[in-house]
Structure formats: C-alpha cells, structure tokens
Amino acid sequence: MATSTRRTDFESRLLAAVYAVSTDISAWVILPNHYHFLVGVETLDAVSSALKHLHGTTSHEWNLEDNSTGARRVWYKFTDRLIRNEKHFYGVLNYIHYNPVKHGYVRDTYDWLWSSLNNYREAHGQQWLREKWTTYPIGDLKIEDDLDVK
C-alpha cells in the first residue's frame, strides 16, 4: 500500500468489508505496510472471513498490478485482542491514531489521511481528543498488552 491511491482504495474496501459484519467500527489506520482497526464483534468468525476474502482479493490484484505473481506474499496473518476495559479501549484508540507518527510517516497525526482520527475531530472536537490522549496515554502500550484488568 505504498501509494496513496492504493491506501485510499484499501481503506474503503476494508471499511466496507468490516461494516458488512459489524456496525461497531471504532478506529482504523492504514499505513504503507500494515493496518490496524478497532471493531466490536459478536464473534470473530465473521470478521476473520471478511478479512480472509479482502486479503485474498487485494493480494491477487496487487501482485498482478506489480507484476509479482508468485514472487511475494502480501498478507501474512492478522491478530485479534480482547479489549479489557475503558482504559484499554482508549489506549488502543490512541495507539491506532498515533501509528503514522510512530512509524515516521508524518509529524502531526492529523496530517495522515488514512485514519479515523479526523472523523473523531469532526464529531467530538480537538479538545475531546486531547482529553482522551491525556487521560489514556499510550506510553509503552503494545496492542498485545492486557492493561490494568483490576
């Protein structure tokens, strides 16, 4: 997803695929070499199936476009995590939105176009986002962490 066109296309396809199985998409970010999203589901099976289909079709298309059929693997796997509590939820939300800065693609999170961050800014305002950032800092958060389950 090195090109902006490919990221834009993948973002719309990802959201369509996930919305088909859940209306509870809380956050997402699409980067040149990976993506994250935060979604509420009844079971993981429907999301897993939707991602398997999306990964299969996009990898086939991109390999054809890049003349790389049989030469590379585009998607490897996906992992899922259970959100434990409000602190964990907002920590992951902040982590997702901060990812383009973490990986050096932009200096300001609002400059990254392929993210739900600007949707939050429009819906809740920048002050609300600052409060969530301050109240639920990512610190050394890793998505794999089970945060403060007390």
CATH number at residue 13: 3.30.70.1290
Low-confidence ranges of the chain (pLDDT < 50): 143-150
Which 3-state string (H, E, C) describes the chain?
Answer: CCCHHHHHHHHHHHHHHHHCCCCCEEEEEECCCCEEEEECCCCHHHHHHHHHHHHHHHHHHHHHHCCCCCCCCCCCCCCCCCCCCHHHHHHHHHHHHHHHHHCCCCCCHHHCCCECHHHHHHHHCHHHHHHHHHHCCCCCCCCCCCCCCC
**Residue at 39 is within a domain:** yes
Q: Quick one: pLDDT at residue 45?
A: 85
pLDDT value, residue 147: 35
In a domain, 144, yes or no: no
pLDDT score, position 5? 94
In a domain, 150, yes or no: no
pLDDT (tens digit, 9 = 90+) per residue, 108-123?
999 999 999 999 999 9
Q: Report the number of distinct structural domains present in the chain.
A: 1
14 lies in some domain: yes
Structural domain including 44 reads 4-135
pLDDT recorded at residue 146: 39
- What pLDDT, on a 0 to 100 scale, did the predictor assign at position 133? 92
Asked whether residue 97 is domain-assigned, the answer is yes
